[in-house]
Amino acid sequence: MSDVVYDLREVRRARYAVAAVFAVHGAVTGSFATRVPWIQDHASVGAGQLGLALAFPALGASVAMPLAGRISHTFGARNALRGLIALWTLSLVLPSLSPNLLTLCLALFVYGATAGMADVAMNALGVEVEERLGRSIMSGLHGMWSAGALVGSAAGTLAAHLGSDARLHHALAAGVLTVLGVASCAWVLDLQPAEDEEPPPRFALPPRSALLIGAVGFCAVFAEGASLDWSAVYLRDRLETSAGLAAACTTGFTLTMAIARIAGDRVVDRFGSVRTVRVSGVLAVLGGLMIVVADRPAVAMSGFALMGLGIAVVVPLCFAAAGRSGPNPSLAIAGVATITYTSGLVAPSAIGGLAQATSLMVSFGLVTVLACGLVAFAGVLRAGDRDRPKVAPESSAVPDGQP
């Protein structure tokens, strides 16, 4: 992208605009997740078939994410994000319209593909805004995603409680979120490629730097997926708690992550990416050890809370490091995103399979071992630390997109 100097007010406005896009992206995910039981009944699929169908979003995302860089190069960052976020919000209606397994798999493939491309585009713009402000914002942006997911899931829970048809619920949600997402894109940075900049390839393997950064993200997302899907089961089956207390553990884990992400930027600015992730990794390991040895619900719940606190800022910092790790930020971000999506897909089933063969305690022992990777390999995130901001003084307004 061309090295344009923006007015500080424009960059600040772009920060809030990208944050709104992150929240919209999260709200789509929350809206979908709460209506999966309705979608399962409507498509007349069993648990095993549903598990197969739910693998297609990650597959679609993995295939499509490398295209995001090419789209941004062709249409400019603002137009690309505007189009991709609209495709993502509108794709929310597809799963609830699916009458059988085949159409559900196809719908979820499209749903995942649009989600992944919008994810890459908004993270790339977030990295650009962070670069120009000269301070960390990626953790807060991902915190806005979590907040949006909570709002979307709350609305979905209410719709399910009222017994509303998911087709109507998702059509209304898609309409509202499309308007909000497209409107927010009006204020993101309108980055354009330099005249001599080669377009990125449509499909390419991620650079080696992205693989190393993605490995750190893999560890964090594995712990996140395991905790989200299995924390309630862990308390109910291993510690014999009530269903309400078990559910409260999952809610507490989610809230801990959201709060830590929103507050994480100040910590990153003060201590840097590497030290922040190393300390976060220590907290995650301590949380994992508490989960494994817990003999009372309070100990396990505290462990899951520490786990959420420890992994919260890792993925945002992985995206920030990927965006600064080479000459093609979108390709590197797509590579990291592919690895983290894969981890989120693998984690729940891996935990379940290991638990069936051994026990849930052993499964979370594996999560704890992977959390050690955050401590050991945090150094690869050094690229996430920022240089001097590229903004003009507030008084010298520079037209958007002009050098």
> What is the pLDDT at residue 174?
97
> What is the pLDDT at residue 204?
58
> What is the pLDDT at residue 119?
92
The reply to whether 204-386 shares the fold of 1-189 is yes
Q: Closest by alpha carbon to 154, among 285, 22, 26? A: 26
CA 99/CA 389 separation, integer angstroms = 52
User: Are the C-beta atoms of 27 and 153 separated by less than 8 Å?
Assistant: no
Extract the tokens encoding 118: 């919008």
pLDDT tens, residue by residue, 67-77: 888 898 889 99
Judge residue 23's burial from the number of C-beta atoms within 10 Å of its C-beta, 0-12 exposed, 13-18 middle, 19 or more buried: buried
> What is the pLDDT at residue 69?
82
pLDDT tens, residue by residue, 375-395: 999 999 986 565 545 555 554
Q: Closest by alpha carbon to 271, among 145, 384, 132, 371? A: 384
Looking up tokens 């959420």 gives 308
Q: What is the DSSP string of 186-224?
A: GGS------TTPPPPPSS-PPPHHHHHHHHHHHHHHHHH
> What is the pLDDT at residue 91?
97
Extract the tokens encoding 286: 């301590």
Q: Distances in Å between the alpha carbon of 56 and those of 83, 98, 123, 193?
A: 22, 14, 22, 32
Q: What is the CATH number of domain 1-189?
A: 1.20.1250.20
> What is the pLDDT at residue 175?
98
pTM: 0.81
By 3-state DSSP, what share of the chain in percent is helix, strand and coil, each rounded to 5?
80, 0, 20
Q: Closest by alpha carbon to 208, among 332, 352, 49, 38? A: 332
Low-confidence ranges of the chain (pLDDT < 70): 1-5, 194-207, 326-327, 383-403
> What is the pLDDT at residue 5?
65
Extract the tokens encoding 157: 């829970």
Q: Closest by alpha carbon to 306, among 230, 229, 223, 237? A: 223
Extract the tokens encoding 212: 């190393």
**Is the CATH number 3.30.9.10 carried by domain 204-386?**
no
CA 111/CA 98 separation, integer angstroms = 12
User: Are the C-beta atoms of 13 and 187 separated by less than 8 Å?
Assistant: yes
Domain boundaries, the chain: 1-189, 204-386
pLDDT tens, residue by residue, 109-162: 999 999 999 999 999 999 999 989 988 999 999 999 988 988 888 888 888 888
Residue 99, φ and ψ in degrees, nearest 5: -90, -10
